[in-house]
């Protein structure tokens, strides 16, 4: 959820909207907003307030994010060694990664409800180098979106699907991941696959309020 991921998300959606017949007037006034939608704290109180034995308070976001990154690095090493392993991420873990990155802090949050994940975005375009942003008067707009993802056991980067996508309150196709980006020729899914390969993730699932990622062991 660093600057690169946010730019990809914003630029990809704008290209899709314009490419399927939208106009920049519609992009500016229908799909973008002049006000931010503050992402609420979606992690449950038990996640944000949990204290492990020996601690007097819950870890700060920076401390939690460092611990999560360490687990992800361990998973990457296991993948390179062809070892089967898994990493569990709670909503609090993911939100800590977002909050610890100065480029993404305050622009997104996630919540996990048993078997589905909902990501909420409120991204000011002035913080991103979106092409033609100022030329088309988009510099003062916000991309407010919600994305819902479900992932049964065995889901991988090639098969993961979005079950619902809304942009400034307007529903858009849940098949967004597989749309070819006009002028780019690639889909958002190709980037999902790229990042999965980076960490050696071969499959995963969402269950019991967690995202669980696995390496293959081969």
Q: Write out pLDDT tens, residues 62-105.
A: 789 999 999 999 999 999 999 999 999 999 999 998 888 877 88
**Alpha-carbon distance values, 50 to 19, 46, 116, 144 (Å):** 46, 5, 22, 30
Q: Write out pLDDT tens, residues 20-36.
A: 445 666 667 777 888 88
DSSP string covering 136-159, please? TT-TT-EEEEEEEEE--TTB-TTT
Which of the two residues, 101 and 116, has the higher pLDDT score? 116
Distance CA 163, CA 126 (A): 29
Average pLDDT value for residue range 143-147: 88
DSSP helix/strand/coil, 210: strand
Please say whether the beta carbons of 164 and 153 come within 8 A.
no
Distance CA 142, CA 132 (A): 15
Nearest alpha-carbon partner for 155 in 185, 188, 183, 189: 189
Please say whether the beta carbons of 30 and 139 come within 8 A.
no
pLDDT in the model for residue 148: 93
């Amino acid at each position: 959820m660093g600057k690169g991921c946010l730019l990809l998300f914003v630029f990809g959606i704008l290209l899709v909207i314009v490419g399927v017949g939208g106009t920049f007037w519609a992009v500016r006034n229908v799909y973008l907003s002049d006000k931010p939608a503050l992402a609420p704290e979606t992690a449950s109180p038990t996640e944000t307030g949990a204290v492990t034995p020996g601690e007097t308070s819950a870890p700060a976001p920076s401390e939690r994010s460092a611990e999560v990154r360490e687990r992800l690095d361990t998973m990457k090493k296991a993948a390179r060694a062809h070892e089967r392993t898994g990493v569990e991420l709670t909503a609090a873990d993911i939100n800590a990664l977002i909050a610890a990155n100065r480029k993404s802090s305050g622009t997104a949050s996630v919540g996990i409800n048993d078997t589905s994940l909902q990501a909420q975005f409120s991204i000011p375009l002035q913080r991103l180098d979106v092409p033609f942003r100022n030329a088309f008067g988009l510099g003062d707009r916000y991309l407010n979106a919600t994305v819902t993802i479900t992932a049964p056991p065995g889901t991988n980067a090639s098969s993961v699907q979005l079950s619902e996508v809304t942009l400034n309150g307007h529903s858009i196709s849940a098949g967004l991941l597989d749309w070819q980006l006009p002028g780019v020729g690639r889909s958002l899914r190709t980037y999902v696959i790229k990042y999965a390969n980076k960490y050696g993730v071969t499959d995963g699932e969402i269950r019991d309020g967690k995202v669980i990622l696995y390496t293959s062991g081969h």
